[in-house]
Amino acid sequence: MFTAPHAPYAHGEAYGCLSDNPREVALWQTGPEERGWVRQARGQIVAVEWETGNQYGFSESISVHNLATGAGYNIATAAGPISGPQTGTPTSFSWPLERFLLVPGGRTVRLYETHPGDTGAGENPVPNAEVLDVVGLHHFKRALATAQPGAIAPGSLSLHGDVLTWTENGARRSARPARAG
């Protein structure tokens, strides 16, 4: 179990730690234009969202941190000017993601829509696919499902032990994301 991050400082970083381990892990920056919060926790693993912005642009990210080891990785990022195109990983306009779940083994399952490169549709491109994948440390990434947009119901993703289940086009599917790869 982790303890809540220190109260945000006027400027600096927010930290998290395990109640039985003195190691503090930096989770996000704090300041007048920056804020962060814990989105999910699973044992010693936490997913945090951090955002910053001003009148010129913005930056957002969701990252996963192991509070026992200090290891971490990003699961989603987005940045750009206030008006204009944004960049990010995964390349998706469904920010932050349609859904994500922390799963055993310190990995994360993500559901998001993808879009073709230059669609000419401005800031509202039409999605061309929906991806369910699992990501983790050391650039680990494995697709679990790819379908047409809207085929995977975000609310159907659930974890039972180490088995992930979801509904795709009305059919029940499953995978073991902690053992993937």
> For the segment 15-52, what is each residue's pLDDT rounded down to a tens digit?
788 888 777 888 877 778 888 889 999 989 999 998 88
* Edge-to-edge strand ranges of the sheet holding 140-147: 99-103, 107-114, 129-136, 140-147
Cα dihedral angle (163, 74, 120, 147), rounded to 10 degrees? -10
Check whether 107 has a pLDDT greater than 60.
yes
Residue 180 has pLDDT above 90, yes or no: no
Q: What would the DSSP string read from start to end of 108-120?
A: EEEEEEE--S--S
Predicted pLDDT at 122: 52
| Spatial distance between the Cα atoms of 79 and 174, rounded to a whole number of angstroms | 33
Among 1, 68, 57, 65, which residue's Cα sits nearest to residue 36?
65
Helices (H), 130-172: none
- The pLDDT-based confidence of 1 (bands split at 50, 70, 90) is very low
User: pLDDT by residue (tens digit) across 49-106?
Assistant: 988 888 888 888 999 999 999 899 999 988 888 777 777 777 655 566 899 999 988 9
